[in-house]
A and B are shown apart, each in its own frame.
Chain A
Amino acid sequence: MSEVGEARAATTERIDLAAEFAQSGVGPVLEQLDAELVGLAPVKSRIREIAALLLVDRVRAKFGLTSQAPTLHMSFTGNPGTGKTTVAARMAEILHNLGYVRRGHLVAVTRDDLVGQYIGHTAPKTKEVLKKAMGGVLFIDEAYYLYRQENERDYGQESIEILLQVMENNRDDLVVILAGYADKMDRFFRSNPGFRSRVAHHIDFPDYSDADLFAIGEKMLAGLNYRLSDGARLALMDYIPKRRDQPLFANARSIRNALDRARLRHANRLFTSGDSAIALERLTTIEEADIRASRVFALPPGRWTTGPGP
């Protein structure tokens, strides 16, 4: 029986999309994503769309319709600490579970892994990285550094050309994710129009809301087997908007740093308290004072501070 005949015969039958969904194993992937990542609505919705496309493509294939693997190269833009790198690491796993990439490993590189130091050094270096990334995800952090406008003899251009070629020819072998701060990435894409058109998904990572940051903080602590006392919870809620008003605010990264410092104070407090016997409760609980001791509470809002932040 010819393919056309089969396809025609198939038009009369129906395929249960829900059953197909349950069978594909996509559901748990999306649930895990929802559970583990706070906020990031645009990112989640894009992943859901990709998953839906995969499912629909599978069903289409059953009817004998052509389906081509979509271009999945992505660009992540957003302010510092909005989760670009975290999501990229997760993305490899997700795309593997969805069946878009064969191996699902992540190769994270920056400019110095791609660009060589002398003439003729760049191409082999870039190709080496690309070979390693085949079947997985290549994550280029701070991708805008690849292109240096001020130096026309910069070897970055050579690397870009190879990347573009492989991104086009080996679309079903690897997924390239570029990440960087929004304004710099914009400039990068403007000077490399080829990149812009080959990257199908431009995902912007929004800043987290205060509630999101609080949830992230709690998740981080839970992962480290710490918990906040009631007073400390209030203090942290207080702390977040205050820290946001300070310069050099880096979203989740600032919260992580703040919590790291709180852990230091917590450890020091236990150490200096002189008790030799400490209950588990005290070892795991961060108290209000640990957070209130932050310099942020002492500063008037908006004042410039030097250093990495209070």
Chain B
Amino acid sequence: MRITQGCFSFLPDLTDDQILTQVQYCLDHGWAVNLEFTDDPHPRNTYWEMWGLPMFDIQDAKGVLFELEACRKIYGDRYIRLSAFDSSHGWESVRISFIVNRPNNEEGFRLDRAEAQGRVQRYATRAYATDQPEGQRYT
């Protein structure tokens, strides 16, 4: 199951050229671009690992792609997402975020049902990937 989250999620994955253009847009607006990766694809997992610090004083998108390449080299089998933070007054939040790398096969989620008191039914989604310990999920 193809994970979709963030911007452009209903488009095919962006090519490097398209990523470059998006990043340049972010940099031209003075946003700090940040790379994060994870191997827990659950949509409620908001705590992705940071790849280094947010890149504050970069002027050209190639510098960000340089880091993305380095990140892919090590965590190419995981999800990598790129986000840009706008620190200007009144925003102070992430302005754009999209997935730039995903594992080759995404196994998707299992729906767990649990009966609770009475006729109440509780649901939980679990990524098949998380059956494995961290670091061995998409190898």
Query: Interface residues, chain A, CB within 8 Å of chain B?
Result: 102-103, 105, 124, 127, 130-136, 170, 173-174
Contacts and interface: CB of A to CB of B under 8 A. Distances in A.
B94 interface: no
B106 interface: no
A170 B59 CA distance: 15
B59 A136 contact: yes
24 contacts: A103-B60, A105-B59, A127-B66, A130-B66, A131-B55, A131-B58, A131-B63, A131-B64, A131-B66, A132-B57, A132-B58, A132-B63, A134-B58, A134-B59, A134-B60, A134-B62, A134-B63, A135-B59, A135-B60, A135-B62, A135-B63, A136-B59, A170-B66, A173-B60
Interface residues of B, number: 13
B67 interface: yes
Contacts of B62: 102, 134-135, 170, 173-174
A126 B70 CA distance: 14
A272 to B, nearest CB: 48
A134 B58 CA distance: 8
Contacts of A130: 63, 66
Contacts, number: 40
B52, B59, B64, B66 — which one has the most chain A CB atoms within 10 A of its CB? B59
Interface of B: 52, 55, 57-64, 66-67, 70
Contacts of B61: 134-135
A131, A136, A170 — which one has the most chain B CB atoms within 10 A of its CB? A131
B26 to A, nearest CB: 14
A132 B62 CA distance: 10
B69 to A, nearest CB: 10
A105 B57 CA distance: 12
Nearest to A124: B52
Interface pairs A-B: 4 shortest CB-CB:
A135-B60, A131-B63, A134-B63, A134-B62
A129 to B, nearest CB: 10
Nearest to B57: A132
A103 B66 contact: no
Contacts of B55: 131
Contacts of B58: 131-132, 134
Nearest to A172: B62
Given A131-B58, A134-B62, 7 more contacts: A103-B59, A124-B52, A130-B63, A131-B55, A132-B57, A134-B58, A134-B60
B57 A134 contact: no
Nearest to B70: A127
A49 B55 CA distance: 36
A140 to B, nearest CB: 17
A166 B67 CA distance: 12
A209 B33 CA distance: 50
A63 B1 CA distance: 48
Contacts of B52: 124
B22 to A, nearest CB: 16
A131 to B, nearest CB: 4
Nearest to B66: A131
A103 B60 CA distance: 7
A68 to B, nearest CB: 18
A124 B66 CA distance: 12
Contacts of B70: 127
A103, A134, A170 — which one has the most chain B CB atoms within 10 A of its CB? A134
Contacts of B60: 102-103, 134-136, 173
Contacts of A132: 57-59, 63
B83 to A, nearest CB: 17
B71 to A, nearest CB: 12
Contacts of A127: 66, 70
B118 to A, nearest CB: 58
A175 to B, nearest CB: 12
